Chain A
């Protein structure tokens, strides 16, 4: 297992390098200008491009970027966004806001989603099942930002329970509404998948056998049904985690949260296209995604001994 993990980590680093390169190329094809200006002369803009090294051959630029990234751990300065402030002065705050709110959302969404899904599967065709179906459909059909406005309208305006806008001094208090609205999509997805996976597993022969042997109740559900149903559910949860952690653009905008989602959109659709921000955020997103997928693959092994056997044979 250790050997397998080491191998995967090395592979992850190589993947990250490839991703950086692909992003590096793509971002330079995008329409828009890294130095948007309505007043500067063409010569002045050309000078700025030269200062940022954008006139060098692509490979030289890439090599310089990677070298700076590895030796100093710095993503460099922005160009269009925040007028060239170092990315290190912007990113940590945005990351901490998005990660904390996303973390609450994912915990809440997965927890409630699992419970709802299990309840629905065990009461197939009855109240909880219908409730779960309806909730999951509302959860996927109504975008999270509409929920956000709804919550804001009723719980910050009609009844003043929560602050109307995000206030970092009262973090937990002001994180509840955005986290709740963000969690609805993951809650619906998890609930629906759990329900369907459970139903599938409950119909399988070995569950029939287990119940025939007299096993019932919690033990049957946790030991036989849930454990087998969990594998595909974990697959669904992993990308949801990455998406939630990397922020939700519109909710962040509505609630005035200085987060990663907003940063990403600002760096592309703001005044100009800020190459370094797009790259930094892209690398951050990929790194998160790869780490979570790595954990997921290891979790597969823990959840299902059959996969453990086959992957250790291969690796």
Chain B
């Protein structure tokens, strides 16, 4: 009986201790209360959401943004809220956030892949910004009167970019780079910031095979369903499209030996090579392309927007995708087994380079139907290859897919590698150890591991920084919603926040992998003019008056905003 009492006392003691602990500051955020001249009755407290499964540096960048903003603007409190990428996208698409840290990677080598995001009603226009001039400009550039005049279009795109930057719709942060470690004896791996990040067709290695790191699982080998870079990489190892990327990312012939462009630049006639076969022996024909493209139209998939009037402008794609048109009216036609005719609704300067994107790859109809849509691409037996490699080991979810050289490839003589063994690696630290152990020939490291590599005289020789393409940026919700009080509808507040970010500091101290601080809403390094070859965003100082690191200007904008908003 006394023992029971003792336990009762013990429980009481524990409860009191816990309560004490809680009061001692366990879970209580000592929120800096608004102080100084800026603080009114309302407090300027905003929530920044970011993904916690999108790379180690993201949480660091988010914390640094909080730190910099709170330091620059007394009275402002930023609460961080980590969540999965899925939840973040859900919140952003349903407008239930205030500030978000997000990213976008280019799907094709044209500024439009970014600028197209901020037109009214686009799903990626997370700020719900709307500008009629901008919409008209973009429409004209993608499928309107400017589409055919490549130089005038290029200039108009600059004007469009200026509209976005002047209004501070987004705050660009940095253009991601990959810090690759490449083993001695490995040559000829081509790195690209767009579409296909790594190409191995001309690669060689001392052992004849390559062990390559993947950061995530391969999600799908179905060209229509794949959405991530790692899946695209394996698909591109195994399947050739009409064109392929050369070392500089330009479109050069692959399955198409050559192509004719009509005078109005709206009809492309691809002449296919006759010696290309699938690895089950059937020849690759124009019908395979027609089938694949029409499948993409009907299958309700992520990337079929690349056919529509914002990108590829394939004839009738809009009507089929958005108005329930008949899929057979799509402007693609196999004139015979080896001739494919594509009709466009407007000239597209970069159309041949779209053809190396996996969505435009061929699928063999007979094979696809024999294995069934559900099972296509889920094992080496249910996957057909016409490219440099064949799939040799794969199940969905595997951490180590493998491809082997395809002896039936039309260009097999120039492929040096006997195979590539991929390995999904969790974390940069582990990748570094695996590389040092020679388990990996190509690894990608980030953060403190890059510093460790740079400090190591032998390892630093293996380091090669390449552009990863995508840009991290901050977007502000300009509406009143469940999470936001609508303060960011105020342009000056957005400008204040944009100008208070020391991007160089963030890149040097937290990202560390050679990423570029970015001050334009179209990042550098991926989009070159069709006529002059000039990089769209080579000049990073062109919007210095509205986007740079300038604390004084930022505080000026902030004071204006605070008085406008009544703080």
Q: Footprint of B on A, CB under 8 Å?
A: 31-33, 36-44, 47-48, 51, 77, 80-86, 89-90, 93-94, 149, 152-153, 156-157, 160, 164-168, 250, 253-254, 256-258, 262-263, 266, 268-273
B427 on interface, CB distance cutoff 8 Å: yes
Interface size class of B (residues with CB under 8 A): 35 or more
A82 to B104, CA, bound (A): 21
B86 contacts A83, C-beta separation under 8 Å: no
A39 contacts B303, C-beta separation under 8 Å: yes
A256 contacts B86, C-beta separation under 8 Å: no
A83 contacts B220, C-beta separation under 8 Å: yes
A266 to B53, CA, bound (A): 10
A256 contacts B396, C-beta separation under 8 Å: no
11 contacts between A and B (CB under 8 A): A36-B90, A43-B322, A77-B374, A82-B397, A83-B219, A85-B374, A89-B379, A89-B396, A93-B395, A256-B400, A258-B397
B86 contacts A270, C-beta separation under 8 Å: yes
A33-B89, A254-B426 in contact; A41/B439 too (CB < 8 A)?
no
Q: Which of B429-437, B473-481, B495-503, B529-537 faces chain A?
A: B429-437
Q: Which residue of B lies closest to A253 (CB)?
A: B426
A28 to B544, CA, bound (A): 47
A256 contacts B395, C-beta separation under 8 Å: no
Q: Which of B389-413 contact A (CB under 8 A)?
A: 395-400
Interface of B is mostly: loop
A39 contacts B123, C-beta separation under 8 Å: yes
Assuming A44-B300, A167-B400, A256-B424, what are 9 further A-B pairs, CB within 8 angstroms?
Answer: A31-B91, A32-B90, A33-B90, A40-B305, A85-B220, A85-B378, A86-B375, A90-B395, A266-B217
Q: Footprint of A on B, CB under 8 Å?
A: 53, 83-87, 89-91, 104, 123-124, 217, 219-220, 222, 225-227, 300-303, 305, 321-322, 374-375, 378-379, 395-400, 423-427, 430, 433-434, 436-437, 439
A93 contacts B399, C-beta separation under 8 Å: no
A157-B433, A272-B86 in contact; A165/B400 too (CB < 8 A)?
yes
B300 contacts A47, C-beta separation under 8 Å: yes
- Minimum CB–CB distance for A299 against chain B, Å: 30
Chain A residues near B91 (CB-CB < 8 A): 31
Chain A residues near B226 (CB-CB < 8 A): 83
Chain A residues near B374 (CB-CB < 8 A): 77, 84-86
Which of B305, B396, B433 interacts with A82 by CB under 8 Å?
A: B396
Q: Which residue of A lies closest to B395 (CB)?
A: A93
A263 to B398, CA, bound (A): 10
- Minimum CB–CB distance for B564 against chain A, Å: 33
Which of B86, B302, B395, B423 interacts with A273 by CB under 8 Å?
A: B86
A271 to B54, CA, bound (A): 10
**Ordered nearest first, which 8 A-B pairs have the shortest CB separation?**
A256-B399, A83-B220, A83-B225, A32-B86, A253-B426, A164-B439, A82-B396, A269-B84
Chain B residues near A77 (CB-CB < 8 A): 374
A136 to B444, CA, bound (A): 37
Chain A residues near B322 (CB-CB < 8 A): 41, 43
A235 to B226, CA, bound (A): 45
Q: Which residue of A lies closest to B90 (CB)?
A: A33
A38 contacts B89, C-beta separation under 8 Å: yes
A218 to B563, CA, bound (A): 85
Chain A residues near B86 (CB-CB < 8 A): 32-33, 36, 80, 269-273
Of the candidates A37, A83, A84, A167, the one having the most CB atoms from chain B within 10 angstroms of its own CB is A83
A93 contacts B398, C-beta separation under 8 Å: yes
A299 to B478, CA, bound (A): 63
Q: Which residue of A lies closest to B222 (CB)?
A: A83
A89-B378, A270-B86 in contact; A258/B398 too (CB < 8 A)?
yes
A38 to B244, CA, bound (A): 26
- Minimum CB–CB distance for A165 against chain B, Å: 5
